[in-house]
């Protein structure tokens, strides 16, 4: 055969290899296990190991790194038989195989048998040397450097995690999950031999490219394994006959997409497999319910919803649905309703009441008047909280005001507590989107003047469910458990949750048997933002906290959908499902540090002959003695409205509100008739012992007398400022 210059030059390759190999004996090798990993794919599973989906960095390969001892031994045998059967016998190069390949290249112009060892293939995957004569030499040099510092199993581990497996899939773990939906540790012989066949020609032998060619190569791998004694003839025959089920090409995460994309940036270099806290069957159910509620309310202009389910004992996220359809561009499905800041409506009220009770700004027996009121706020404005119905309930207890989500009593309570103190507590609870100063939010903060996320709300309600013991929400099973931090007084949290779990306290607004009442103990609160743009329902049992949001991502208003009619049914369905297969939760604990006593519902004082039908309420023992000193006795009296320190504005607005505020209605309670006076000037009461006083500028002291007893309070009346700010007056109380 005539000599060919190109083939002759190829004969110099062995000489170059020997020279370089000798030089490398005096150089520093490379520890392949210490090489940094490129940012790769994260493969997510649910809490039990069921696959949820994989996410790769932009323009990166689909990879996943696993230790060699977590790879099926059948695959290890198959890949050695297919790629380098003498791997443990030679070093960086297999001299006989390389000489054979070199001879074939020189004679035929191509290598008809493989000459690359596993170490050489690892070197090529790391440094990406081209498949040229010069590139092959550099590849051999790099392989020798690897062998000098790396034990054989470390090299083999690097190879099975870097081997090209078709398309953008690299490594046995990524291939096993992509093609079969199982971890590489679970591969059977048919699957293992099929995957081991791919690296020989990954572009042609990809399972999604040429299935027939791949099966033919698999038969070769099985025959090599039989010939090497790795398997029996019967094993090879059965594996060859086995029908291998192939998953369809991946289109992105199949479940909890918003959750996985939110998690992915938190993982560092290298590919990994992360076991999340998600419960896949529960996730599927919640996703279906979110889709169902938006479909049911489409005629009322509802297109979006989100839901979050958390385990109270660990803070683990069990279900996370950010939208009805992540892959719907028309419905803006990639928006994440769990993380999107929205106005919470009345959903923050429980935290305000808890802090007010904890700091003694209010007591459980405090009477708050639900009547028109106007407050002067910074910026030369007036704030007039009111429901759209403009109907008011009059004097109400704290329990009633919270459970029925009344706006005016909530603002009265916050005016006593202080916006700054409330904002500080919200920051403690993790509301990081409330970044403005207290003066920006004003008294409307308790009605939803700030923006928060569903994630933040659920975390805050989780703190309440844990009696103030705060832990962060957990996303992965292996994440370290944080040390709980106590926020506030446990007993006061328990008192507020007991109020939220009382179906009779909220009966006036919701009815006793509304969608919020479950067949087991559960505390719950709704919220609806201004203009019907957001509806919320967040609540909990002793086991779980569930929060849902219903609205539109584009910010458009729904058609009369409130927290009870929008988010309420979704919350109800999820909560009931959580207890399909488990025992119902126990009742909430009695408020620690409180005692249960009968009180007069209209006064918050001890029952008297004029209040024959008492109700039960929790109060602190330290307050019990003082409380018992101030009942409405036969000659006792108490002013219910106005209250000490109230500020009123003369003729603050036009229309019905202005007419109601031109005269101040004085209300009180006593066992006998009440006599009223203003700065010592008597007023004539009506048949119900109420008196009316025309508003006049200045500071005024009102006195109510009954028998020899009297009660006095002072108020101020100021001039109108710039304008009346209606604030965040949300819904009629019966729709809250």
> Cα 173 to chain center, whole Å?
29
Share of the chain above pLDDT 70, in %: 80
Q: Is the pLDDT assigned to residue 555 strictly greater than 70? A: yes
pLDDT of residue 399: 94
User: Which string of DSSP letters, residue by residue, matches 180-249?
Assistant: TSS-GGG--HHHHHHHHHGGGSHHHH-TTT-HHHHHHHHHHHHHHHHHTTSS-HHHHHHHHHPPPP-PPP
The answer to whether the CB of 304 falls within 8 A of the CB of 533 is no
Share of the chain above pLDDT 90, in %: 43
Q: Which of 5-19, 63-77, 234-248, 510-524 has the lowest mean pLDDT?
A: 5-19
Which run of H or E residues covers position 59? none
Q: Which of 92-106, 263-277, 278-292, 326-340 has the lowest mean pLDDT?
A: 92-106
For residue 488, the SS3 value is: coil
Q: Which of 159-168, 683-692, 720-729 has the lowest mean pLDDT?
A: 720-729
Phi-psi region of 196 (alpha: psi -120 to 50; beta: other; left: phi over 0): alpha
Looking up tokens 């370290």 gives 480
Peptide bond into 143 cis (omega under 30): no
Most confident of 32-41, 83-92, 278-287, 507-516: 278-287
For residue 496, the SS3 value is: helix
Q: In what order do the strands lie in the sheet with 375-377?
A: 375-377, 381-383, 723-725
The answer to whether the CB of 717 falls within 8 A of the CB of 695 is yes
Q: Is the pLDDT assigned to residue 176 strictly greater than 80? A: yes
Q: Which of 106-115, 540-549, 617-626 has the lowest mean pLDDT?
A: 106-115
Between 394 and 271, the higher pLDDT residue? 394
Query: Strand 485-486 vs strand 62-63: parallel, antiparallel, or unpaired?
Result: unpaired
464 vs 494: CA distance, rounded Å? 8
Number of C-beta neighbours around residue 520 at 10 A: 16
User: Which string of DSSP letters, residue by residue, matches 391-429?
Assistant: ---EEEEHHHHHHTT-HHHHHHHHHHH-HHHHHHHHHHT
Predicted TM-score of the model (pTM): 0.73
pLDDT of residue 196: 95
The CA-atom distances, in angstroms, between 18 and each of 14, 97, 140, 168, 320 are: 6, 15, 10, 35, 60
Q: Measuring CA to CA, which residue among 565, 594, 574, 371 is closest to residue 495?
A: 594
Length of the chain in terms of residues written: 736
| Structural domains of the chain ordered from first start | 5-241 (1.10.3810.10), 595-620 (no CATH), 637-725 (2.60.40.10)
The answer to whether the CB of 670 falls within 8 A of the CB of 647 is no
Phi-psi region of 689 (alpha: psi -120 to 50; beta: other; left: phi over 0): left
Q: Measuring CA to CA, which residue among 340, 305, 320 is closest to residue 453?
A: 340
pLDDT of residue 114: 58
Between 353 and 397, the higher pLDDT residue? 353
260 vs 256: CA distance, rounded Å? 6
| Structural tokens at position 638 | 């108490």
Work out the average pLDDT over 434-447.
92
> With the C-alpha atoms ordered 371, 376, 378, 379, is the resulting torsion angle positive or negative?
positive
| Structural tokens at position 518 | 């479950």
pLDDT of residue 101: 64
Q: Is the pLDDT assigned to residue 736 strictly greater than 70? A: no
Phi-psi region of 357 (alpha: psi -120 to 50; beta: other; left: phi over 0): alpha
Which run of H or E residues covers position 295? helix 280-296
Work out the average pLDDT over 85-101.
78
Rounded to 5 degrees, what are φ and ψ at 595? Answer: -120, 150
Between 601 and 519, the higher pLDDT residue? 519
pLDDT of residue 657: 38
Tell me: the pLDDT tens digits for 244-260?
999 888 767 788 999 99
- What does DSSP assign to residue 483? P
Work out the average pLDDT over 402-425.
92
What's the chain's average pLDDT?
83
Q: Measuring CA to CA, which residue among 326, 322, 295, 296 is closest to residue 309?
A: 322
Work out the average pLDDT over 416-421.
93
Q: Which of 214-218, 574-578, 659-663 has the lowest mean pLDDT?
A: 659-663
The CA angle 257-259-260, to the nearest 5 degrees, is: 65
384 vs 402: CA distance, rounded Å? 19
Q: Is the pLDDT assigned to residue 434 strictly greater than 50? A: yes
Q: Is the pLDDT assigned to residue 458 strictly greater than 60? A: yes
Helix, strand, coil distribution of the chain in percent, nearest 5 = 40, 20, 45
Tell me: the pLDDT tens digits for 471-511?
999 999 988 888 999 999 999 999 999 999 999 888 888 88
For residue 573, the SS3 value is: helix
Tell me: the pLDDT tens digits for 186-199?
999 999 999 999 99
pLDDT grade for 1, boundaries at 50, 70 and 90? very low
Rounded to 5 degrees, what are φ and ψ at 225? Answer: -65, -40
**Where do the H-state alpha helices sit in 58-171?**
73-83, 95-108, 118-127, 133-149, 152-162
Which run of H or E residues covers position 723? strand 723-725
Which run of H or E residues covers position 557? none
pLDDT grade for 346, boundaries at 50, 70 and 90? very high
| Structural tokens at position 197 | 């066949």
Q: Is the pLDDT assigned to residue 58 strictly greater than 70? A: no
413 vs 354: CA distance, rounded Å? 11
pLDDT grade for 725, boundaries at 50, 70 and 90? very low
Most confident of 69-83, 112-126, 587-601: 69-83
Q: Is the pLDDT assigned to residue 562 strictly greater than 50? A: yes
- What does DSSP assign to residue 452? B
Q: Measuring CA to CA, which residue among 695, 702, 698 is closest to residue 661?
A: 695
pLDDT grade for 233, boundaries at 50, 70 and 90? very high
pLDDT of residue 735: 38
| Cα dihedral value 449, 453, 458, 461, nearest 10 | -20
Tell me: the pLDDT tens digits for 360-403?
999 998 888 777 666 655 554 555 666 544 567 777 889 999 99
Tell me: the pLDDT tens digits for 107-128?
555 544 556 888 888 888 887 7
- Residues in CB range of 391: below 8 A, 6 or more apart: 732, 733
Q: Is the pLDDT assigned to residue 724 strictly greater than 50? A: no
185 vs 208: CA distance, rounded Å? 22
């Amino acid at each position: 055969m005539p000599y060919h210059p190109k083939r002759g030059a190829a004969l110099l390759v062995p000489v170059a290899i020997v020279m370089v190999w000798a030089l490398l004996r005096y150089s520093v090798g490379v520890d392949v296990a210490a090489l940094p990993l490129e940012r790769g794919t994260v493969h997510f599973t649910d809490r039990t190991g069921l696959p949820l989906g994989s996410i790769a960095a932009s323009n990166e390969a689909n990879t996943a790194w696993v230790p060699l001892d977590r790879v099926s031994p059948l695959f290890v045998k198959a890949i050695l038989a297919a790629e380098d059967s003498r791997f443990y016998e030679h070093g960086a190069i297999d001299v006989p195989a390389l000489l054979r390949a070199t001879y074939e290249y020189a004679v035929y112009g191509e290598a008809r048998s493989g000459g690359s060892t596993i170490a050489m293939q690892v070197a090529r995957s790391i440094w990406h040397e081209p498949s040229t004569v010069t590139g092959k030499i550099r590849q051999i040099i790099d392989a020798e450097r690897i062998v000098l510092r790396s034990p054989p199993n470390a090299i083999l581990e690097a190879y099975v995690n870097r081997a090209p497996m078709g398309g953008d899939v690299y490594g046995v773990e990524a291939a096993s999950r992509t093609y079969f939906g199982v971890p590489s540790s679970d591969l059977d012989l048919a699957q293992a031999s099929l995957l081991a066949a791919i690296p020989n020609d990954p572009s042609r032998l990809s399972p999604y490219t040429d299935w027939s060619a791949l099966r033919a190569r698999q038969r070769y791998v099985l025959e090599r394994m039989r010939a090497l004694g790795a398997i029996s003839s019967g094993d090879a025959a059965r594996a060859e006959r086995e029908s291998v089920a192939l998953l369809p090409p991946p289109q992105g995460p199949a479940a909890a997409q918003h959750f996985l994309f939110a998690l992915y940036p938190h993982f560092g270099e290298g590919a990994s497999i992360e076991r999340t806290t998600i419960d896949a069957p529960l996730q599927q159910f919640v996703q279906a319910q979110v889709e169902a509620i938006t479909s049911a309310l489409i005629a009322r202009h509802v297109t979006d919803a989100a839901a979050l389910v958390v385990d109270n004992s660990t803070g683990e996220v069990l279900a996370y649905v950010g939208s009805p359809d992540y892959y719907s561009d028309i419905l803006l499905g990639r928006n994440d309703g769990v993380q999107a800041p929205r106005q919470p409506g009345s959903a923050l009220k429980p935290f305000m009441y808890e802090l007010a009770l904890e700091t003694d700004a209010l007591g459980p027996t405090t009477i708050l008047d639900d009547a028109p009121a106007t407050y002067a706020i910074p910026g030369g404005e007036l704030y007039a909280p009111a429901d759209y119905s403009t109907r008011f309930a009059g004097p109400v207890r704290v329990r009633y005001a919270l459970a029925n989500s009344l706006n005016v009593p909530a603002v009265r309570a916050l005016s006593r507590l202080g916006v700054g103190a409330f904002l500080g507590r919200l920051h403690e609870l993790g509301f990081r989107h409330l970044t403005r100063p207290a003066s920006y939010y004003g008294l409307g903060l308790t009605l939803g003047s700030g923006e928060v996320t569903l994630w933040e709300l659920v975390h805050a309600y989780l703190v309440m469910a844990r009696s103030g013991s705060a832990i962060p929400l957990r996303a992965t099973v292996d994440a370290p458990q944080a040390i709980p931090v106590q926020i506030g007084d446990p007993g006061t949290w328990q008192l507020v949750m007991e109020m939220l779990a009382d179906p009779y306290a909220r009966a006036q607004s919701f009815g006793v048997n509304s969608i919020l009442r479950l067949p087991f103990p559960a505390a719950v609160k709704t919220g609806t933002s201004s203009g019907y743009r957001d509806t919320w329902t967040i609540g909990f049992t002793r086991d779980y906290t569930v929060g849902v949001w219903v609205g539109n991502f584009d910010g458009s208003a729904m058609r009369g959908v409130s927290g009870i009619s929008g988010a309420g049914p979704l919350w109800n369905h999820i909560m009931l499902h959580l207890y399909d297969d488990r025992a119902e939760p126990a009742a909430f604990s009695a408020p620690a540090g409180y005692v249960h006593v009968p009180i007069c519902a209209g006064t918050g004082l001890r029952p008297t002959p004029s209040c024959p039908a008492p109700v039960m309420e929790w109060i602190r023992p330290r307050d019990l003695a003082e409380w018992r000193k101030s009942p409405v006795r036969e000659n006792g009296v108490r002013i219910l409205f106005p209250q000490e320190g109230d500020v009123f504005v003369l003729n603050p607005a036009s229309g019905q509100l202005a007419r109601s505020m031109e005269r101040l209605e004085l209300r009180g309670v006593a066992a006998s008739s009440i006599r009223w006076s203003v700065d010592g000037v008597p007023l004539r009461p009506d048949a119900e012992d109420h008196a009316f006083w025309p508003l006049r500028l200045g500071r005024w002291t009102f006195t109510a007398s009954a028998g020899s007893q009297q009660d006095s309070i002072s108020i101020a009346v100021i001039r109108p400022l710039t304008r009346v700010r209606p604030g965040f007056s949300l819904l009629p109380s019966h729709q809250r």
